[in-house]
Amino acid sequence: MAGPKTTLWELEPHTRAKHDLLRRYLGGWFPVLSAYNGRIVFLDGFAGPGAYENGEPGSPLIALDALLTHAYFPRMSCEFLFFFCEADPKRFESLKELIEVYKAENYPWPSNVKVEAVNSPFEQTATDLLSHLSTQKKRLAPTFAFVDPFGFSGLPMNLLADLLSFSRCELFVNYMVDFVNRFAGAGNVDHHLTELFGTDEYKHAASLRGKERQQFLHDLYQRQLSEVCGLTYVQSFAMINRTGHIGYYLFHGTRDVKGVELMKDAMWKVDPGGGFTFSDRLAGQDVLFTEVDIDVTPLRAALLREFAGRTVNISRLEEFTLVNTPYRKTHLRKPVLSPLEREGLIQVGRPGRSGFPEGTRVTFSSY
């Protein structure tokens, strides 16, 4: 872990996995958003020095590379604006230098890709950006805000709400629940925690212990992102380390179910490595994100419970799978619906002779 005076530090396995996830998500997000917008923005709130101890790229270069190396980039005609915020002067100088090196390596630099690195905290940069837009009476272009702090200060909920008030903005935030869990109720950093949550309800954690305490703090943050920031879909993914404990949560918030689909696809494709594993919860059960020996039993049970005695369109089942479970759309048809049909637990009305194409209607047996 980098200390306050450290310029470069070792790339840890969980950070490598997080960066792999970021790259994969942007690989889907860039072409989808660029097809319908004249400008899109990537905002890195805690950009760091741009690289790690052994030369591995940091999130700013990963984001740039995800765009420039994309197979569809030559066909993306919109303007891409990258904002990189780094408060530490030495890290900022390192970041600027590495950006210039990357630009030189990719000469000639595409005219529709703009990069702005700012030597200021995320909170100040975001506030200045919103103030400028207000003065100009403009709206923020579709934005993906990647917010990856070392702790929990400098990340006020009301600022996130202002930033995310623009309809096509998404958030991917590292919620350091271990730090929060340690200090909630201690009383010495209450002002930071009140800003983080946008409420002082976190103080109720003082009477809780163990997993119940951690789950309460998770649920409170998720609720605030949904209600205060107005995000329709807020998903969390636990980073479980090799000891089986949760190191932190990754929260993704969006108003578009397509964003949920892209994030699920990215999550299931990432190889965490180093003993770290992604997980989510369904009916009190851990569902691990690995494409090897996928257990779809929780998805099967959830579908049977939710739609018992009902007839629904296949698109409704896809939406339920994406929004209400940790699974992908690809886990629905062959892994779950086909066995249910063979067992007589569902009746299928399909427009074709086989499969579950668009327009398919599925009737679930009653319990």
Q: What is the pLDDT of residue 2?
A: 52
Other residues' Cβ atoms within 10 Å of the Cβ of residue 351:
10
Between the alpha carbon of residue 357 and those of residues 21, 106, 313, 323, 342, the distances in Å are 29, 43, 10, 20, 17
Task: Give the mean pLDDT of 332-336.
Answer: 96
Percent of residues, the chain, with pLDDT higher than 90: 64
pLDDT digits (tens, 9 = 90+) for 228-253: 999 999 998 888 877 777 888 999 99
Check whether 6 has a pLDDT greater than 70. no
CB 46 within 8 A of CB 148: yes
Residue 49 banded pLDDT, cuts 50, 70, 90: very high
- pLDDT category at 269 given cuts 50, 70, 90 is confident
Decide if 60 contacts 50 (C-beta within 8 A): yes
What integer is the mean pLDDT of 28-43?
93
Instruction: Tell me what pLDDT residue 137 has.
Output: 66
Is 40 a residue whose pLDDT tops 70?
A: yes
Confidence (pLDDT) at 254: 96
Count, residues in the chain = 367
Q: What average pLDDT does the segment 117-141 reach?
A: 86
| Closest by CA position to 248, among listed 3, 8, 9, 12 | 12
**Nearest C-alpha neighbor of 300 from the set 258, 337, 265:** 337
For 121, the enclosing helix (H) or strand (E) is none
Q: What is the pLDDT of residues 301-319, one digit of tens each?
A: 999 999 999 999 999 999 9
Positive/negative CA dihedral, 237, 242, 245, 248: negative
Residue 4: which pLDDT band, with cuts at 50, 70 and 90? very low
State the Cα–Cα distance between residues 351 and 355, nearest whole angstrom.
Answer: 9
Residue 324: which of 244, 235, 246 has the closest Cα?
A: 235
Q: Which of 177, 211, 238 is nearest to 14 (CA)?
A: 238
Give me the pLDDT at residue 44, please.
Answer: 95
Judge whether residue 268 has pLDDT over 60: yes
Helix (H) or strand (E) holding 82: strand 79-85
The pLDDT assigned to 176 comes to 86
Q: With a cut of 90, say whether residue 352 has pLDDT above it.
A: no
Output the pLDDT for position 1: 45
Round to the nearest angstrom and report the end-to-end CA distance of the chain. Answer: 52
Across-strand partners of 147? 173
**Which is higher by pLDDT, 3 or 123?**
123
> Could you read off the pLDDT of 274-300 as tens digits, one per residue?
666 778 777 777 787 776 678 899 999
Given this model, what pLDDT does residue 139 score? 82
pLDDT in tens, 144-153: 999 988 777 8
pLDDT higher at 149 or 44: 44
User: 52 near 91, Cβ under 8 Å?
Assistant: no
Q: Is 117 exposed, middle or buried (0-12, 13-18, 19+ CB in 10 A)?
A: buried
Give 365's pLDDT tier (boundaries 50, 70, 90): very high
pLDDT in tens, 196-211: 999 999 999 988 998 8
Closest CA to 117 of 147, 80, 87, 160: 87
CA 214 from chain centre, in angstroms, equals 20
In this structure, of 151-165, 283-297, 339-353, the range with the lowest mean pLDDT score is 283-297
CB 358 within 8 A of CB 349: no
